[in-house]
Structure 1
Amino acid sequence: MSPEEFRHYGKQVVDWIADYLAGIEQYPVRSRARPGEVRAMLPAHPPERGEPYEQVLADMDRVILPGITHWQHPNFFAYFPANASGPGILGDLLSSGLGVQGMVWATSPACTELETVAVDWLAELLGLPDHFRTDSAGGGVIQDSASSAALVAVLAALRRAEGTTKRIYVSSQTHSALEKAARIAGIGSQNVRTVDVHPETLEMDPARLRTLIDEDVAAGLTPALVCATIGTTSTTAIDPVRAIGEICRERGIWLHVDAAYAGVAAVCPELRWINDGVAEYVDSYATNPHKWLLTNFDCGVLWVRDRAPMINALSILPEFLRNAATESGQVIDYRDWQVPLGRRFRALKLWSVIRWYGAEGLREHIRTGIALAQRFASLVAAEPDFEVRGHHPFGLVCFRPLRTDVLELMERVNASGALYLSHTKVGDEVWLRMAIGAPTTTEAHVDAAWAALRAAAQSR
């Protein structure tokens, strides 16, 4: 494809994306495709000769769109938001156009140095401590997700800890990525201890954490890492970071905070209470701008207080990567801050988003999502046939019908195509999750979703 052909078809692709986003409400939120249906519409063998790009775009409409669940739809309320925005999309396009492989500073200095600026900007926007800045002993790095960030944190913690059999500590509400990280790191699920949570708030119980740590130390085991969560996936419960941190500090245990969803809420000064104890006690902290901060997937940021254990765990320098800049010790080589060697120029989209929206625009987005969630919660609370869980400081509301089977109601509304919800379990109880955060969601969408839920519950 020549530059002129790229210019011609590129304009068509941008128009296609713009038309899609402008008309997204015409589609059912969740795809109605059946297993194998999309594959059956595609040729079994690759083309012998190249095809005009118009045919690719035609198949986007004919084949691909019917198999898409529309995460950018204003009525997508399942899981957590996966915000995409115009500046984020354009930043991704610029990254793809440059085709940079930013494994070390020397392979594209701007790729590395823009990333250091973007993660430092974000740390400032969230009110995170100065030791997370890249001009300190710690620093930040863009990962693909909080799951990869958790794995890096586990590897760094295991590297720092002394002992043979090492253990990590999570709660029943901690994301499964931590157990997966333990498996990948080689210590196995059997060395992941699950700490009890408060039955109402679902936050980790520090007293129980201390007991488990004491038991393991007495048995000759080495506590290596504790994961505290700010905004659990299930209900957005918040672990008491300060109390957990005090225990970790006493015992020299790495404290990782998983704030994948809720961490970006701290862009609003009135929400920075969620990070109580982070500055004093936390060794690593992860949040995902690609969830609730208008930045296209994939863009998760990991900060560390001290980069040395992470680099010691991950750095291998083959001869073909040796270069004068690396040898000087004056640059960051982000290949040492992640599991893969290669890395995309993800910083462009985060940088684009921050510059387009500014702090004011980002705060407005977060505050709008929270206000809409409070509106939905008040509507549900006023209905005697429904119940709302009390904790909902962000954009997620957990609720359930009292006279209708919860999963049956969810499947009914999801199958309608009008909206899309997910569910969770708290103990033995099933709850629906209403996660609000799409930039196009308005009061009208929230009110219509509640009307559809009420109607479905009444028509059982």
Structure 2
Amino acid sequence: MDSQQFREFGKAAIDMVADYLDNIRKLDVLPSVEPGYLLKALPEDAPEQPEQWQDVLKDFSENIIPGVTHWHSPRFHAFYPTGSSYPSLVGNILSDGLGVIGFSWMSSPACTELEVVTLNWLGKLLGLPEEFLNCSKGPGGGVIQGSASEATLVGLLVAKEKMVRKLLKNNPSLDEGIIKSKLIAYTSDQCNSSVEKAGLLGSMKMRLLKADADGRLRGETLKTAFEEDRAQGLIPCYVVANLGTTGTCAFDPLYELGPICNEEDVWLHVDAAYAGTAFICPEYRHLMKGVEYADSFDVNAHKWMQVHFDCSAMWVKNGYDLINTFDVQRIYLDDVKTDIKIPDYRHWQMPLGRRFRALKLWTVLRINGAEGIRSHIRNQISLAQYFAKLVQNDNRFIVEPEPSMGLVCFRLKDGDIMTKRLLENITEKKQIYMVAATYRGRYIIRFVICSRLTTTEDVDFSWKIIKAEADLTCSNNVITKSKIPAINLQETISSCEKSK
């Protein structure tokens, strides 16, 4: 393919994407395909001869699109948002067009320095303490990881190495393997599955501590866990606090957890993957009170900030902790020496190579501005509040817990079985998509404002579907109950006595 064909192919693909997003409301959120559909539709072997790009787009339209779950549909209300915007798309195109692998400064100076600039911008917008920023006098700074999962694992590995080094320095006679076998990490039982997985990947036991009735991990619970484990000869090493849990978007009190971690010299990582973006709005920053105690902080710009996956912004107080953990030298990796404070990002992550991800963050911040992002966040929260009122006005439903950010959780008063049946029936229709969670032992349905395209009319559409399906589900339940003959308990007991 030459440059002219690329221009034609690229323009046609952009038109197709724009048309897709303009018409996304016409598509069911969930696909109507069976497992293996694409395996049957596509050839078993790669083509021997070149094919025309027109045929590629034709197959994309006819075979790929029918099997897509439409994450950017205004009727997609599952999980949490995944970022999307035209500025981000352009940033991705520019990044892919340059195709640099920015593991060191010399491998592409702009790749490293734009990441420093954008993460300083973003850190200031979020209201992070200055010591987390590269522009501070200290060793702190930001780095773009692939995901919050990756950031959590990076934090765990760094905490592990730092604790081992400290203990060996204090007592060189200790065995490193024995130390590592005793290290233990902690988080809430409301954490994302990726936090627990970090413990598996990092070979460190991860204790899931019971959250309070509102889904928050409290300081007293953590302190008790530390005492219990130290009494067993274990070594507390790593704590992951959640600012916006996956199930109910609860916020752990950093002001309680932080002092305990600092006193015990335990690494505190803050997972603010979804809700962290809201801290761009000053009115929500009280939810991260105590963040100054944290050692690392992560927010997924690729969730609520309209930046495409993958772009997870992670800040640390001390970049040397990462370097001491991940520094592996080779002569071909020697870089330019400078007095200017510029991070060597290959030491701040698990892989060596890295894409020019800062470009899409840069384009989104430039084109939207801070005010544009604030407006987006506030609008989505107001849409969630609007939906909550619709549900609260229907006496068959209960909204609980209190709506948080863009998330509303609700259930039928008729109980867990009926609520589960309602969600299953709605999912089967494929017009809207939600997923379940639990709250205080009850089965609840999560409704999240996800798409940047969502309007009040879209919320009304989704509520109409939910309400209509509730009508059917509840009426069927009444019919089913009416068909079951009433049981006289006393007669049953008497009959049993006679049979004896």
Structure-1-length-normalised TM-score: 0.96
| Letter paired with 2:390 | L
Confirm or deny that 1:5 pairs with 2:16. Answer: no
Q: State which of 388, 399, 407 in structure 2 corresponds to 1:388.
A: 399
Partner of 1:101: 101
Find the counterpart in structure 2 of residue 139 from structure 1. Answer: 141
Q: Secondary structure at the match of 1:400?
A: strand
Q: Match of 2:366?
A: 355
What percent identity do the matched residue pairs reach? 42
Q: TM-score, normalised by structure 2?
A: 0.89
Partner of 2:377: 366
CA distance in 1 between counterparts of 2:231 and 2:255 reads 25
Please report how far the alpha carbon of residue 392 of structure 1 lies from its aligned counterpart in structure 2 after TM superposition: 1.8
Distance 2:341 2:190 in 1: 41
**Aligned pair count?**
454
CA contact (8 A) 2:248 2:404 kept: no
* 1:92 corresponds to: 92
Could you tell me which amino acid in structure 2 is paired with residue 361 of structure 1?
A: G
- Code of the residue aligned with 1:324 in structure 2: it is V
- Which segment is superposed worse, 147-156 or 209-218? 209-218
- Correspondence 1:289-304 to 2 at 5 A: 289-304=301-316
Structure 1 gap ranges (5+): none
Q: Distance in 1 between matches of 2:256 and 2:244?
A: 17
| Secondary structure at the counterpart of residue 332 of structure 2 | helix
Residue 151 of structure 1 pairs with residue 171 of structure 2: no
Q: What is the DSSP-based 3-state SS (H/G/I as helix, E as strand, rest coil) of the residue aligned with 2:315?
A: strand
**Structure with bigger gyration radius:** 2
Deviates more, 1:339-348 or 1:417-426: 417-426
What is residue 283 of structure 1 aligned with on the other side? 295
Q: Which residue of 2 aligns with 1:271?
A: 284
**2:174 aligned with 1:172, yes or no?**
no
Secondary structure of 2:106's partner?
Answer: helix
1:47: which partner in 2? 47
Contact 1:237/1:391, CA 8 A, preserved across alignment: no
Contact 2:184 2:237 in 1 (8 A): yes
1:192 — aligned with what? 206
CA drift of 1:426 comes to 2.5
1:417 aligns with 2:417: no
* 1:208-244 alpha-carbon deviations (Å, 9 max, x no partner): 2101101222232211111110000010011011110
Check the 8 A contact 2:269/2:297 in 1, yes or no: yes
**Residue 24 (str. 1) matches residue 24 (str. 2):** yes
- Report how far residue 329 of structure 1 moved: 7.8
Corresponding position: 1:129 with 2:129? yes
* 2:250 aligned to which of 237, 241, 246: 237
In the TM superposition, residue 105 of structure 1 has moved relative to its aligned partner by 1.0
Give me the whole-angstrom Cα distance separating, in 2, the residues matched to 1:301 and 1:445. 31
SS in 2 for 1:107: coil
2: CA distance between counterparts of 1:34 and 1:425?
29
Query: Deviation at 1:433?
Result: 0.4
Distance 2:195 2:363 in 1: 31
Q: Is the 8 A contact 1:225 1:254 kept in 2?
A: yes
Instruction: Give the drift of 1:379.
Output: 1.0
Amino acid at match of 1:48: E
Partner AA of 1:105 in structure 2? W
Alignment-derived partner of residue 38 in structure 1: 38
1:344 to 344, 349, 355: 355
Equivalent residue letter for 1:129: P
- Residue pair 1:75, 1:445 contacting (<8 A) in 2 also: yes
Asked if 1:182 corresponds to 2:195, the answer is no
User: What is the DSSP-based 3-state SS (H/G/I as helix, E as strand, rest coil) of the residue aligned with 1:324?
Assistant: coil
Query: Are residues 394 and 330 of structure 1, via their aligned partners in 2, closer, same or farther at CA, if it must alter by over 3 Å?
Result: closer
SS, match of residue 142 in structure 2:
strand
Q: Which runs of 5+ in 2 are unaligned?
A: 168-178, 474-500
Query: Which residue is equivalent to 1:205?
Result: 218
- Give the C-alpha shift of residue 412 in structure 1: 1.7
Counterpart of 1:174 in structure 2: which amino acid? C
CA distance in 2, matches of 1:184, 1:153: 12
1:248 and 1:357 mapped to 2: Cα distance? Answer: 38
Once the 2 structures are TM-superposed, how far is the Cα of residue 148 of structure 1 from its aligned partner? 0.2
Q: Counterpart of 1:68 in structure 2: which amino acid?
A: V
The answer on whether the counterparts of 2:104 and 2:335 sit within 8 Å (CA) in structure 1 is no
Equivalents in 2 of 1:18, 1:264: separation in Å? Answer: 26
Q: Aligned Cα RMSD in Å?
A: 1.3
Which of 314, 318, 324 is the matching residue for 2:336? 324
Instruction: Please state whether the residue corresponding to 1:405 is helix, strand or coil.
Output: helix
Whole-angstrom CA distance in 2 between matches of 1:413 and 1:221: 47
Question: Structure 1 CA distance, aligned partners of 2:450 and 2:283?
Answer: 18
Contact 1:325/1:331 (<8 A) preserved: no
Q: Which amino acid aligns with 1:317?
A: Q
Deviation at 1:31, TM superposition (A): 1.5
In the alignment, is the contact (CA less than 8 A) between 1:76 and 1:420 conserved in 2? yes
Look up the equivalent residue of 2:382 and give its one-letter code: A
Distance apart, 1:348 and its partner CA = 0.6
Partner of 2:471 in structure 1? Answer: 458
Separation of aligned partners in 2, 1:339 and 1:209: 29
Q: How far does residue 264 in structure 1 lie from its aligned partner after superposition?
A: 0.4
| Residue type of the alignment partner of 2:117 | V
- Please list the CA deviations of residues 311-370 of structure 1 after superposition, one character each: whole Å capped at 9, or x if unmatched: 1111111222123348x7853211111111111111111110010100110000000110
Are residue 308 (structure 1) and residue 320 (structure 2) matched? yes
**CA contact 1:106–1:325 (8 Å) conserved in 2:** no
Hey, what's the Cα distance between the residues in 1 that align with 2:406 and 2:343? 36
SS in 2 for 1:301: strand
Secondary structure of the equivalent of 2:124? helix
Q: Deviations over 1:100-144 (max 9, x none)?
A: 111111100000100111111111111111111113311111111
User: Which residue of 1 is the match for residue 491 of structure 2?
Assistant: none
Corresponding position of 1:248: 261
